[in-house]
Amino acid sequence: QVQLVESGGGLVQAGGSLRLSCAASGRTGSTYAMGWFRQAPGKEREFVACISWSGASIAYADSVKGRFTISRDNAKNTVYLQMNSLKPEDTAVYYCAARNSRAPMTRPSDYDYWGQGTQVTVSS
């Protein structure tokens, strides 16, 4: 089994930056894709970004393009989400997820493992 633990969330002012980390442990596959999702109260879980095992394939939600960057360090079993130019509408619980495939996907149902989430709050 795979365990995912997010960190790096917190409270920031609009225009500020945060870097989220997600550390994976346990019996990960030889290759796996990773994704970031977020969910605000009363809203559906929303795709943010995803990345293939090699890092060659990356996708972003339109709402975060140009502001967020996903990356991974396979030697450390860690995926990152660098968030710049944060807006109040970015406020949500952010979750990392892992999929037993190289191919990244944008739907929550395509992922096999989930972290507990980390709160990101952006004040105006």
| pLDDT cut 90: percent of the chain above it | 77
The reported pLDDT for the residue numbered 91 is 98
Quickly tell me which residue has 């960057």 as its tokens. Answer: 69
DSSP label of 121: E
pLDDT digits (tens, 9 = 90+) for 38-81: 999 999 999 999 999 888 899 999 999 999 999 999 888 899 99
Pairing of strands 33-39, 10-13: unpaired
Higher pLDDT among residues 66 and 2, named by residue: 66
Beta strands per DSSP E along the chain = 2-7, 10-13, 18-26, 33-39, 46-51, 58-60, 68-73, 78-83, 92-99, 113-114, 118-123
Amino acid present at 28: T
Q: What pLDDT does residue 101 have?
A: 82
C-beta of residue 36 within 8 angstroms of C-beta of residue 51: no
Region 99-105: what's the mean pLDDT? 84
Least confident of 8-17, 30-39, 45-54: 30-39
Provide the residue type at 59 as one letter: A
Q: Indicate the pLDDT class of residue 30, thresholds 50, 70 and 90.
A: low
Cα–Cα dist 48/25, whole Å: 22
Whether residue 18 is predicted with pLDDT greater than 80 in this model: the reply is: yes
